[in-house]
Amino acid sequence: MSLETDRPAIPDLQDKARVLRRHIIEMTTAAGNGHPTSSLSATEVVTALHFGGFMNYDASRPDWPERDRFIMSKGHAVPALYAAMAEAGYFPVEDLLTLRKLGSPLEGHPNMRRLPGIEASTGSLGQGLSIGLGQALGCRMDGIDARVYVVLGDGEMGEGQVWEAIATAHKYQVGNLTAIIDQNGYQQTGATADVLDLTPFAPKIESFGWHVQTINGNEMSEVVAALETAVAITDRPTAIVAETQKGFGILPILEEVGDTNFHGQALPADIAEKALAHLG
């Protein structure tokens, strides 16, 4: 998928996001483990990047030097990425159901040594933006015109290393790096506001010299518009603060269950069935 002239219509991207959401629920429920709600909040962003004509990649050549890079820094949300990779043709869609199974390269957190197309092994939060910064600088040094996209969690933003990367990206005026913060309001143990409230993110990141936009990250048209703005900026790093909802797409089901964070657990089979029916 490449070239912005190929950009699909918003309803088509919304349909693709629904396909990814179904995969996310099915694979985590089959695994009996995983982070469906963390994956669901980031689904519009992952969908727009992979299928909206933003990322230039070739699934048959995962190591193609000219490719754009995607890093899921909040590595536990990798089911969203696996779903996109399967739909993009990196591996068969049926393999999604091997998530977290012994021997499968679809580990609970992304492993670049085992699954071609994974750009960084993440899961220990806070490291992905530094890795992405290194890759963006590497591309620049090699004369490769590629962009690096990094998705971070709002809880993850409490890691000091993220802010070191933000400062350093400004120092080198890294214009081919885009960070997307999935501000879903929760982290592992509760509301991000209660654990460590760093909102609003935009003025803080802006003060480091970045270009920052704040959007509704579950509204596909806003995600596409923000990415269009970001890719047009090449003289400094860009961030998109994506205000999202954890578990977006199946919120009424989570409300019924009585847990709208529902962190780090798969939906039991009967609830997953309801969630899939709700998604349509």
Ligand X SMILES: Cc1ncc(C[n+]2csc(CCOP(=O)(O)OP(=O)(O)O)c2C)c(N)n1
Residues 3-32, interacting with Mg ion (CB under 5 A): none
Q: Which does 76 bind (CB under 5 to 8 A by kind): Mg ion, ligand X, none?
A: ligand X
Residues 99-128, interacting with ligand X (CB under 6 A): 123-126
Amino acid at 121: S
**252 upstream amide cis, omega within 30 of 0:** no
246, 247, 248, 272: which one binds ligand X (CB under 6 A)? 246
Q: Which does 98 bind (CB under 5 to 8 A by kind): Mg ion, ligand X, none?
A: none
Any alpha helices (H) in the chain, and if so which ranges?
10-31, 36-41, 43-51, 78-88, 128-141, 160-171, 192-195, 201-206, 220-231, 251-257, 269-279
Q: Which is nearer to Mg ion, 132 or 153 (CB)?
A: 153
Q: Identify which range of 12-20, 153-161, 221-229, 230-238 contacts ligand X by CB under 6 A.
A: 153-161
Shortest distance in whole angstroms from residue 114 CB to Mg ion: 26
Q: Identify which range of 81-89, 104-112, 149-157, 160-168 contacts Mg ion by CB under 5 A.
A: 149-157
154, 159, 222, 243: which one binds Mg ion (CB under 5 A)? 154
Q: Which does 77 bind (CB under 5 to 8 A by kind): Mg ion, ligand X, none?
A: ligand X
Shortest distance in whole angstroms from residue 92 CB to ligand X: 27
Structure tokens given for 227:
């990415």
CA dist 153 and 242 (Å) reads 10
How many Cβ atoms from other residues are within 10 Å of residue 261's Cβ? 19
Shortest distance in whole angstroms from residue 263 CB to Mg ion: 9
Measured from each CB, the residue nearest to ligand X is: 153
Residue 165 is a binding residue for ligand X (CB under 6 A) = no
- What is the DSSP-derived secondary structure letter of residue 152? E
Distances from the Cα of 24 to the Cαs of 36, 70, 214, 232, in angstroms?
6, 18, 26, 31
Residue 182 is a binding residue for ligand X (CB under 6 A) = yes
Residue 74 is a binding residue for ligand X (CB under 6 A) = yes
Q: In terms of Cα–Cα distance, which of 123, 131, 168, 125 is closest to 149?
A: 131
Q: Is 2 exposed, middle or buried (0-12, 13-18, 19+ CB in 10 A)?
A: middle
> Which of helix, strand or coil describes residue 149?
strand
For binding to ligand X (CB under 6 A), which residues are involved?
Answer: 38, 41, 74, 76-77, 123-126, 153-156, 182, 184, 186-188, 192, 246, 263
